[in-house]
Amino acid sequence: MMLQTRYLGLNLNNPLVIASLPLAKDISSIRHMEDAGAAAVVLHSLFEEQILIEEKQLNENLLRGTESFAEALSYFPDISSFQLGPTAYLEHIKEVKRAVEIPVIASLNGISTGGWIEYAKKIEAAGADALELNIYFIPTNPAVMGDQVEQLYTVLVKDVTSSIKIPVAVKLSPFFSAAANMLKRIDQAGAKGLVLFNRFYQPDFDLDNLNVVPNLHLSHSGELTLRLRWAAILYGQLDCDLAITGGIHTAEDVIKSIMAGANATMMASAILKHGISHIQSVLSDMKEWMKKRDYNSIEDIRGLLSMKNIAEPTAYVRSNYMKVLGSYL
Ligand SMILES: Cc1cc2nc3c(=O)[nH]c(=O)nc-3n(C[C@H](O)[C@H](O)[C@H](O)COP(=O)(O)O)c2cc1C
C-alpha cells in the first residue's frame, strides 16, 4: 500500500500531518507522533503580537503608531501562556529538526505586513522545511471594504513568499465573497499550499460576570464538509497544493479529503481527544479501507470526487442547495 504523497514539494510517508498545536512545544511528544506514523508536523504558531511585544520590550519606541492594528495589544492574552517567545521559537525549530526526521513546518500567525515578517527569514535559517502562514483576521470595522481585506491577504502573502525560499502554505478562512477567486490570488501571490480552513473560535458570554469569554470546543467530523466542498471545487484549478484542517478525526475523513483533492490532511482535536496513538489507528484503518477496495496508492484516489472528476459537478453548486432542501421529508 503506497500512502506516500507530496505536499509543498515535500515527500510525505502518508497524508496525515499534525496540525499546529501546543503539543508541538514538547519535543518528546513530537517524537511520539513521528513514531505513531505522523508524516510531518506543523509547529504551534509564533504570533505577530508576540514578536511585537518582544520588540516593544527591547525598545518602546519601535512600537509607536502600530497600536492602530485591529486588535489592540492590550487584549492579547498573557504572553507567558504562549511560553516560547520569538527567540525560543527559533531555537525550538532547531531542536525539533535534530530530534525527528519528518518534515517540520513552522507557523507564523499574523495579519499585517511589517518588521515582524523578518521572522520568516529567521525561521528559514533555523532549518524549517516549510512555513505555514496563518492569517486570522476578523474585519470588524464597517468602513473597511472587502477589497481592502483581500489586498491585506495578497500583500502579506507576497511579502512573506518573496522573502524566503522555503515553501509557504497559507492557512485562512473560507469567508470571502468570492472565495475561489481569493484563493486563486493567494496561489498567484506565491503560496505553494492552501490550508483549508481556520476554525473560528467564537467567544461566548458569561452571564454571571457579564464578561465575554474565550470558548474553544474541539472539532468533530461534521466540520469536514465545508473543507471537502472547497477542496473539491479548487482541485485542478490552482497551481498550489491543498491541505485540509478542521474535522479530520477518522480514516474515512482522510480518505474523503484526498478524494476531494487534498495532498495532505491535518489533525489536531482527535489527537487531543484520543491521544497520540490515534494516529496509528487512523493510518491502519486507512490501509485496510483501501486494501478492501483494491486501491493501491493515494494517487489512485486523489481528486476522485472533485468537481472536475465527478459525473454531476452541480453537486457542489447552487442546484445542490435546492436538492438538499427538497430531500428533507
Ligand atoms: C488547543 C489548540 C491550539 C491551537 N493552536 C494553533 C496555533 O497556534 N496556530 C494555528 O495555526 N492553529 C492552531 N490551532 C488550530 C489547529 O491547528 C487546527 O487547524 C484546528 O484545530 C482544526 O483541526 P481539528 O479539527 O483537527 O481540531 C489550535 C487548535 C487547538 C485545538
- pLDDT band at 74; cut points 50, 70, 90: low
Using the mean position of ligand 1's atoms as its centre, give its distance from the Cα of residue 28 in Å. 19
Cell of 218: 474541539
Type of residue at 243: A
Give residue for cell 503506497. 2
Per-residue pLDDT tens over the stretch 98-116: 999 999 999 999 998 888 8
| Percentage of residues in the chain having pLDDT higher than 90 | 77
Cis peptide before 82 (omega within 30 of 0): no
Q: How far is it, in rounded angstroms, from Cα 10 to Cα 18? A: 15
Strands 204-206 and 211-213: antiparallel
Q: How far is it, in rounded angstroms, from Cα 230 to Cα 234? A: 6
Q: Contact at 8 Å (CB) between 174 and 132?
A: no
Give residue for cell 485540509. 244
Q: Which range of residues forms the domain containing residue 41?
A: 5-326
- pLDDT in the model for residue 328: 80
pLDDT at 266 over 70: yes
Could you tell me the pTM of the whole model? 0.92
Please give the DSSP secondary-structure letter assigned to residue 200. Answer: P
- Computed over every residue of the chain, the mean pLDDT equals 91
Residue ranges lining ligand 1, Cβ < 6 Å: 19-22, 44-45, 107, 109, 134, 171, 199, 219, 245-248, 267-270
Using the mean position of ligand 1's atoms as its centre, give its distance from the Cα of residue 295 in Å. 31
Using the mean position of ligand 1's atoms as its centre, give its distance from the Cα of residue 198 in Å. 8
pLDDT at 261 over 80: yes
Cell of 50: 508576540
Give the best-scoring range by mean pLDDT among 63-77, 79-93, 250-264.
Answer: 250-264
SS3 call for 241: strand
Closest residue to atom 12 of ligand 1, CA basis:
20
Ligand 1 pocket test, pick from 21, 79, 82, 278 with the greatest ligand atom count within 8 Å of Cβ, gives: 21
Domain count, the chain: 1
CATH number for the domain that contains residue 122: 3.20.20.70
Per-residue pLDDT tens over the stretch 133-173: 999 998 999 999 999 999 999 999 999 999 999 999 999 99
